[in-house]
C-alpha cells in the first residue's frame, strides 16, 4: 500500500491505494480517500481516525 496524490485543478487529493494483479494486468484499488493536505493535517491534529 502507498499514498497516491491526484491533482485536479489547483488542489491535490490524497488516497491510500494498493496494487492488485488481475490476470496479467496490475490495477490500483483505492483503500481510503484521505482528502486534501489541509484535511489530512486537521485530522492528524485532532486525533481523528
Q: How far apart are the first and last CA of the chain?
A: 18
Q: What pLDDT score was predicted for residue 49?
A: 64
Q: What is the pTM of this model?
A: 0.75
Distance separating alpha carbons of residues 40 and 49, to the nearest angstrom? 10
pLDDT of residue 43: 86
- Please, what's the b/e burial string for 22-43 (b: 16 or more CB within 10 A of its CB; e: otherwise)? eeeeeeeeeeeeeeeeeeeeee
How far apart are the C-alpha atoms of 10 and 48, rounded to whole Å? 26
Chain segment 1-49, per-residue pLDDT in tens: 999 999 999 999 999 999 999 999 999 999 999 999 999 889 889 886 6
d(CA 28, CA 35): 18
What are 33-45's pLDDT values in tens digits? 999 999 988 988 9
Amino acid at each position: 500500500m502507498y499514498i497516491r496524490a491526484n491533482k485536479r485543478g489547483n488542489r491535490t487529493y490524497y488516497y491510500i491505494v494498493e496494487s492488485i494483479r488481475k490476470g496479467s494486468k496490475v490495477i490500483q484499488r483505492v483503500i481510503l480517500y484521505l482528502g486534501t493536505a489541509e484535511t489530512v493535517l486537521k485530522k492528524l491534529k485532532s486525533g481523528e481516525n
